[in-house]
């Protein structure tokens, strides 16, 4: 399932960039594929791309309207159906990372069939997966884990994979969510897999490889999330990580959308992830802490990273601000 580029990014009427994760991810990591944005009245996000209508987008080379927002629960808002139908009628394919299948909306299915264009449901698993075997695989694996959803796990993994490649290390980014799959061109929408098969799907995502090859695996959810911890655990067990990287957003005080659930202490989060990871890889350890410091004053960011590093005794970096070099130096010294 390869989605035809280039992309027109649909932002609907979402209020903030956190709700436009998919669009922002494509803009940052697949910029050349993005020709414009499509927004409804009231949209609070501006990606800095040209606002194009569907005909203009086609003229600019767009083949697919990508639903660039990830609303809570993964459903299509009723008032988005009309613009999606209009895009299809104008000859654009439509790609969605939501749980609901595009084809399950009759007006969307009819418009796609009438226009002879495609509907791509990135979040619907393209394959069936076996039950996890627990068998140890060749090669090395690094999994992003998080204090919460939307703390930068995908950006951290993409940064690490890019930085590893720049050093001549063998590395592959492994996508587990809709945005990562659109960026990488492949992957497993792990939270959409039937629960019994999550660990098995994670095993399939990072198969046997060269002894010195790193799979850098995008994380999902958090062990401290009241809705998604099971997904995080299945991914942790199936990934069998040699190293985890804890991802966090500085300044976040509670699980996003769950005011009664505080963000755990970083040390507790590392400890619980390692305790559980060691079921399938007894050698699992934490390689470092990735912190999105953008919510802090610019002058406080470097001090914050240094303080966390000193407190936890491991490398701490902001992937967008500093890259992952400090962690990779440490990793290379430790494992070669």
Q: Are β-strands 34-39 and 64-67 bridged in parallel, bridged antiparallel, or unpaired?
A: unpaired
Residue 130: count of CB within 10 angstroms of its CB: 11
Distance (Å, rounded) from C-alpha 166 to C-alpha 179? 23
Question: Does the footprint of a second copy cover residue 99 (CB under 8 A)?
Answer: yes
- The answer to whether 159 touches 167, Cβ cutoff 8 Å, is no
Residue 124: count of CB within 10 angstroms of its CB: 19
| Site track 227-266 with a second copy (rule: CB under 8 A), x = hit | xxxxxxxxx-x--------------------x-xx-----
Give, as ranges, the residues between 53 and 82 that touch a second copy (CB under 8 A).
72-74
Of 61, 134, 207, 251, which lies in the binding site for a second copy, with binding defined by CB under 8 A? Answer: 134
| Site track 199-228 with a second copy (rule: CB under 8 A), x = hit | xx----------------------xx-xxx
Question: Does the footprint of a second copy cover residue 184 (CB under 8 A)?
Answer: no
Question: Does the footprint of a second copy cover residue 127 (CB under 8 A)?
Answer: no
**Minimum CB–partner distance for residue 67 and a second copy (Å):** 17
Buried b / exposed e along 22-51 (16+ C-beta atoms within 10 A): bbbbbbbbbeebbbbbbbeeebebebebee
Question: Does the footprint of a second copy cover residue 181 (CB under 8 A)?
Answer: no
| Tokens (6 digits) for 52 | 């194009």
Number of residues engaging a second copy in binding (CB under 8 A): 40
Cβ closer to a second copy: 64 or 222?
222
Q: Single out the segment in contact with a second copy by CB under 8 A; choices: 47-55, 79-87, 275-283, 289-297.
A: 275-283
**Minimum CB–partner distance for residue 14 and a second copy (Å):** 18
Distance (Å, rounded) from C-alpha 86 to C-alpha 287? 48
- The answer to whether 167 touches 329, Cβ cutoff 8 Å, is no
């Amino acid at each position: 399932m390869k989605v035809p580029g280039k992309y027109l990014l649909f932002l609907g009427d979402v209020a903030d960039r956190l709700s436009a994760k998919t669009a922002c991810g494509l803009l940052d990591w697949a910029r050349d594929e993005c020709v414009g944005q499509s927004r409804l009245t009231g949209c609070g996000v501006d990606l800095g791309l040209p606002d194009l209508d569907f005909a203009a987008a086609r003229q600019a080379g767009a083949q697919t309207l990508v639903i660039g927002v990830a609303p809570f629960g993964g459903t299509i808002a009723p008032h988005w159906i009309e613009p999606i139908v209009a895009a299809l009628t104008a000859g654009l394919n439509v790609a969605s990372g939501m749980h609901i299948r595009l084809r399950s909306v009759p007006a969307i299915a009819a418009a796609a069939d009438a226009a002879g264009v495609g509907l791509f449901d990135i979040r619907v698993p393209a394959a069936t997966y076996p039950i996890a075997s627990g068998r140890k695989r060749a090669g090395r694996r690094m999994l992003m884990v998080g204090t919460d959803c939307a703390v930068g796990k995908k950006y951290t993994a993409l940064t690490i994979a890019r930085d590893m490649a720049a050093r001549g290390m063998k590395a592959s980014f492994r996508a587990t969510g809709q945005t990562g799959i659109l960026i990488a061109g492949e992957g497993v929408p792990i939270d959409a897999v039937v629960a019994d098969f999550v660990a098995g799907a994670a095993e399939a995502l990072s198969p046997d490889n060269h002894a010195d090859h790193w799979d850098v695996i995008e994380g999902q959810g958090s062990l401290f999330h009241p809705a998604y911890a099971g997904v995080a655990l299945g991914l942790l067990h199936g990934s069998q990580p040699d190293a985890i990287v804890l991802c966090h957003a500085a300044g976040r005080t509670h699980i996003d959308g769950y005011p009664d659930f505080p963000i755990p202490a970083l040390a507790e989060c590392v400890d619980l992830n390692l305790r559980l990871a060691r079921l399938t890889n007894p050698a699992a350890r934490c390689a470092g802490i990735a912190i999105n410091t953008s919510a802090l004053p610019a002058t406080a960011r470097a001090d914050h990273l240094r303080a966390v590093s000193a407190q936890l005794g491991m490398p701490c970096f902001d992937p967008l601000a500093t890259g992952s070099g400090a962690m990779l130096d440490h990793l290379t010294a430790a494992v070669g």
